[in-house]
């Protein structure tokens, strides 16, 4: 392998570059990024950057030592594949880029609402800096979506003295991510922070100066922030022949395949755009979190270079909102039951999802020790005593069955 192209300038892209060199790749290497900035971390955008505590989250990478050409401000427009194992060409605004190894790391783009009014999204550092300048005391900030991003933006905006309203289509915050029962436990946090939360409200359009609501009604606003999810950036792959289902479909090593099932050992996908097979959970996962973007590229790079590495880590995520550290590990989509560790009406509590005596996932609110211990239990797959793990006075590690 002599020519590798990494398409995507986020964390997954830069970690793929580093992993390729670390694992002995000596050929030419280029990173193509639609953004003009060098790769940077995104989690601080809705936290430290928006609050004004940081203005630069650039990933610390020695590009000279990596011997990687940075093609910044350039977009991939199409992918033309040769025979399996023979590479192909990335068509881009920088010209045609032939390769014999390809890393797809184009991430995801925010979903926006219809309407001709201005709506802020929070995906790039330029967007975070722009919104930060508008969060001034007394400004009417309306946020659509009471998910992770919506809660974090609401936290910062309220702290800056804005009049904040959050509009959510579901009946509770975080209903899609955690389910309505857990979501309902977080609803009081908004009122405590002086944020108006309006659930069960659907938006028809973003208009100048406010939102038009489905069924009539309007919410006036000086600034509107939309945080209703993201979609993988896959448009440039249309017609490429790769198998695409919500993301780039890959095996457990992040190797892509064509729509007819033919493997493509010369193409891997990582980060928010990869729908990878998890043996742990027996299904494909599309994980849009920093931890996966950080760690998965090591496996993808080894696979691209002919190795046998497999990725099967339990997903992990954290959020800082309304003065709380909220952490989640695992996947509860197919779990049988939900138990609480501690009273959710108290400041510190946790919830665990089980299938039989297997710990599938955990959510913690200001209980970091529970999270750390639970991640180890989930990774090991060791059975737990349901009664013990539901007792907040029993350390998670001691709930493991002998």
Domains of the chain, each with CATH number or no CATH: 3-109+230-304 (3.50.50.60), 112-226 (3.50.50.60), 323-399 (3.30.390.30)
- Residue 344 has what pLDDT? 86
Short-list 284, 375, 273, 318, CA closest to 11: 273
**Distance of alpha carbon 247 from alpha carbon 231, whole angstroms:** 9
Short-list 141, 183, 172, CA closest to 158: 141
Q: Read off the pTM.
A: 0.94
Distance (Å) of CA 260 to CA 169, 192, 254, 263, 393: 38, 54, 17, 9, 53
Q: Which residues of the chain have pLDDT under 70?
A: none
Tens-digit pLDDT profile for residues 325-361: 999 999 999 899 999 998 888 999 999 999 999 999 9
Strands 196-199 and 223-226: unpaired
**Distance of alpha carbon 307 from alpha carbon 317, whole angstroms:** 28
Check if the beta carbon of residue 219 is closer than 8 Å to that of residue 165. yes
Query: Percentage of residues in the chain with pLDDT exceeding 70?
Result: 100
Alpha-carbon dihedral of residues 277, 280, 286, 289, nearest 10 degrees?
A: -130
């Amino acid at each position: 392998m002599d020519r590798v192209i990494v398409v995507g300038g986020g964390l997954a892209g830069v970690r793929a570059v580093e992993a390729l060199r670390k694992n002995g790749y000596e050929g030419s290497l280029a990173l193509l990024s639609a953004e003009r900035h060098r790769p940077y971390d995104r989690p601080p955008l809705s936290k430290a950057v928006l609050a004004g505590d940081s203005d630069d989250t650039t990933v610390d990478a020695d590009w000279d030592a990596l011997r990687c050409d940075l093609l910044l401000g350039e977009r991939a427009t199409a992918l033309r594949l040769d025979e399996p194992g023979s590479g192909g060409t990335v068509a881009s605004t920088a010209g045609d880029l032939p390769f014999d190894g390809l890393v797809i790391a184009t991430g995801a783009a925010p979903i926006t609402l219809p309407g001709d009014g201005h709506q802020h999204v929070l995906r790039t550092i330029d967007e975070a800096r722009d919104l930060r300048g508008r969060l001034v005391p007394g400004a009417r900030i309306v946020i659509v979506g009471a998910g992770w991003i919506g809660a974090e933006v609401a936290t910062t905006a309220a702290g800056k003295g804005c009049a904040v309203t959050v509009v959510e289509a579901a009946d509770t915050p975080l209903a899609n991510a955690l389910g309505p029962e857990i979501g309902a436990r977080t609803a009081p946090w908004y009122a405590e922070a002086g944020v108006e939360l309006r659930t069960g409200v659907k938006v028809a359009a973003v208009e100048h100066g406010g939102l038009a609501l489905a069924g009539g009604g309007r919410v006036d606003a000086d600034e509107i922030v939309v945080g209703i999810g993201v979609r993988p950036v896959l448009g440039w792959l249309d017609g490429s022949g790769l198998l695409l289902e919500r993301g780039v479909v890959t095996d457990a090593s992040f190797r892509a395949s064509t729509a007819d099932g033919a493997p493509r050992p010369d193409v891997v996908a990582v980060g928010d755009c990869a729908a990878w097979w998890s043996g742990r959970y027996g299904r494909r996962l599309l994980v849009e979190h920093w931890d996966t973007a950080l760690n998965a590229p090591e496996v993808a790079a080894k696979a691209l270079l002919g190795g046998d590495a497999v990725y099967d880590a339990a997903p992990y995520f954290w959020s800082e909102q309304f003065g709380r550290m909220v952490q989640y590990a695992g996947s509860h989509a197919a779990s049988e039951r939900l138990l609480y560790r501690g009273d959710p009406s108290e400041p510190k509590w946790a919830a665990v999802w089980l299938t039989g005596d297997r710990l599938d996932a955990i959510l913690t609110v200001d209980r970091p020790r529970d999270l750390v211990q639970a991640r180890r239990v989930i990774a090991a797959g060791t059975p737990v005593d349901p009664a013990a793990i539901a007792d907040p006075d029993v350390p998670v590690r001691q709930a493991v069955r002998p």
